[in-house]
């Protein structure tokens, strides 16, 4: 079965998880075997997708073509360690406090873990479409550059920076006179802590060949995937969206479309407040002006970045069940054509 991947990207809180799920529902109800891979869905959406949503894909309700899985970045890092390190080193890594720190704090970690899991599902060839929600922590195109960043981490660039010169062996760490940075670290952190750090880097190193190979495969998959960029008409997510259009072509495919979410109806632009009492009338004028601003902004964005556009209305109630998700897509403009072109 050939599998298409659709990555739903964009700034924080713009509706990536909601739209990834909504696209999944519509595709599945069209008869396309679809897996939605979500990251940290809002509570009520998680309920809609199934209360027992886990990291393994599971069929949803009585939908014959819809599966869902939730990515858990820390759990997948354990899986990555177990896959790429020998069993003893993997156990040590997972138990090492620095493993936890590095895998949750290193900026590219969550993105990499999510990308690795997503690619595993794409590789499984069990679905025609895999819709991937991207983690909120992944600022901009981090999701796409994470494999390279992780290869650098595991490959020892950080370690080299800490120690200078070539990658050191275990003895290096015990010779605290070797480098001022280690001498200071030893004094400040204490010997035991420094040993844990040393062990961590040593064990991490053993995963290098595996991680590098896998990171390369992930990069290739991400390059072949289709991407849509979700934004609202607010300045911060818009800046983020612009970054995708400017920077993504350097590392992956150009985005297929920009999706403006939570848009005000264009019919509001011409709302006539005559005969309506204050303060409702000035409120109406304010919303008319905002609806107009959003419309102009969308047109300018689409023409400046020469892209297809989809417009998703701001619903009075956030969609929290599968039917409401489907309605969100049906009420939108231009989203289904982008979807069908991606799947074809």
Ligand X SMILES: Nc1ncnc2c1ncn2[C@@H]1O[C@H](COP(=O)(O)OP(=O)(O)OP(=O)(O)O)[C@@H](O)[C@H]1O
List interacting residues with ligand X (CB under 6 A): 12-18, 40, 42, 136, 261-262, 312, 314-315, 318, 328
Interacting partner of 150 out of ligand X, Mg ion, none (Cβ under 5 to 8 A depending on kind):
none
Nearest to 56 by CA among 8, 126, 6: 126
For residues 59 and 50, give the distance between their C-alpha atoms in angstroms, rounded to a whole number: 9
- Residues 6+ positions from 216 with CB-CB distance below 8 Å: 147
Closest separation in Å from C-beta 291 to ligand X: 15
Query: Rule CB under 5 A: which residues touch Mg ion?
Result: 16-17
Closest separation in Å from C-beta 39 to Mg ion: 6
Closest separation in Å from C-beta 108 to ligand X: 17
SS3 69: strand
Interacting partner of 318 out of Mg ion, ligand X, none (Cβ under 5 to 8 A depending on kind):
ligand X
Task: Enter the DSSP assignment of 233.
Answer: S
Residue 12 or 59 with smaller CB distance to ligand X = 12
Residue 36 or 81 with smaller CB distance to ligand X = 36
Residue 137 or 159 with smaller CB distance to ligand X = 137
The residue number with the shortest CB distance to Mg ion is 17
Closest separation in Å from C-beta 224 to Mg ion: 23
Closest separation in Å from C-beta 294 to ligand X: 13
Nearest to 230 by CA among 109, 340, 132: 132
Interacting partner of 265 out of Mg ion, ligand X, none (Cβ under 5 to 8 A depending on kind):
none
- Residues 6+ positions from 318 with CB-CB distance below 8 Å: 18, 42, 44, 45
User: Are 153 and 106 contacting, i.e. CB atoms less than 8 angstroms apart?
Assistant: yes
SS3 309: strand
The residue number with the shortest CB distance to ligand X is 318
Task: Decide: residue 43, CB within 10 A, 0-12 exposed, 13-18 middle, 19+ buried.
Answer: exposed
Interacting partner of 312 out of ligand X, Mg ion, none (Cβ under 5 to 8 A depending on kind):
ligand X
Closest separation in Å from C-beta 24 to ligand X: 13
Residue 9 or 295 with smaller CB distance to Mg ion = 9
For residues 143 and 158, give the distance between their C-alpha atoms in angstroms, rounded to a whole number: 20
| Calculated CA dihedral for residues 88, 90, 93, 95, nearest 10 degrees | -80
Residue 12 or 180 with smaller CB distance to ligand X = 12
Residue 14 or 257 with smaller CB distance to Mg ion = 14
Interacting partner of 314 out of ligand X, Mg ion, none (Cβ under 5 to 8 A depending on kind):
ligand X
Strand-pair partners of 131: 6, 36
């Amino acid at each position: 079965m050939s599998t298409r991947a659709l990555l739903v990207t964009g700034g924080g809180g713009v509706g990536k998880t909601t739209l990834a799920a909504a696209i999944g529902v519509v595709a599945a109800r069209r008869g396309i075997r679809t897996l939605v891979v979500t990251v940290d869905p809002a509570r009520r959406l998680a309920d809609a997708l199934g209360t027992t949503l886990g990291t393994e894909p599971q069929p949803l309700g009585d939908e014959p073509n819809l599966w869902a899985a939730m990515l858990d970045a820390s759990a997948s890092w354990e899986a990555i360690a177990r896959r790429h390190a020998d069993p003893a080193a993997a156990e040590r890594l997972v138990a090492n406090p620095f493993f936890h720190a590095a895998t949750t704090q290193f900026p590219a970690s969550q993105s990499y873990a999510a990308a690795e899991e997503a690619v595993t599902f794409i590789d499984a060839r069990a679905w025609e479409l895999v819709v991937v929600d991207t983690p909120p922590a992944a600022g901009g195109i981090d999701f796409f550059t994470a494999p390279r960043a992780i290869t650098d981490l595991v490959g020892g660039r950080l370690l080299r920076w800490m120690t200078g010169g070539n990658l050191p062996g275990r003895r290096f760490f015990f010779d605290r006179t070797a480098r001022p940075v280690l001498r200071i670290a030893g004094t400040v952190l204490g010997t035991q802590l420094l040993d844990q750090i040393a062990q961590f880097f040593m064990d991490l190193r053993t995963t290098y060949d595996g991680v590098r190979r896998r990171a390369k495969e992930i990069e290739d998959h991400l390059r072949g995937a289709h991407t849509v960029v979700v934004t609202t008409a607010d300045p911060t997510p818009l800046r983020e969206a612009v970054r995708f259009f400017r920077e993504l072509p350097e590392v992956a495919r150009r985005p297929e479309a920009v999706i403006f979410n939570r848009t005000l109806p264009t019919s509001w632009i011409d709302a006539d407040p005559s005969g309506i009492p204050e303060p409702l009338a000035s409120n109406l004028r304010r919303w008319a002006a905002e609806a107009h601003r959003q419309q102009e902004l969308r047109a300018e964005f689409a023409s400046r970045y020469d892209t297809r556009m989809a417009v998703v209305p701001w619903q009075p109630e956030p969609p929290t069940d599968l039917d409401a998700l489907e309605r969100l897509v049906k009420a939108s403009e231009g989203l289904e054509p982008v979807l069908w072109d991606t799947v074809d």
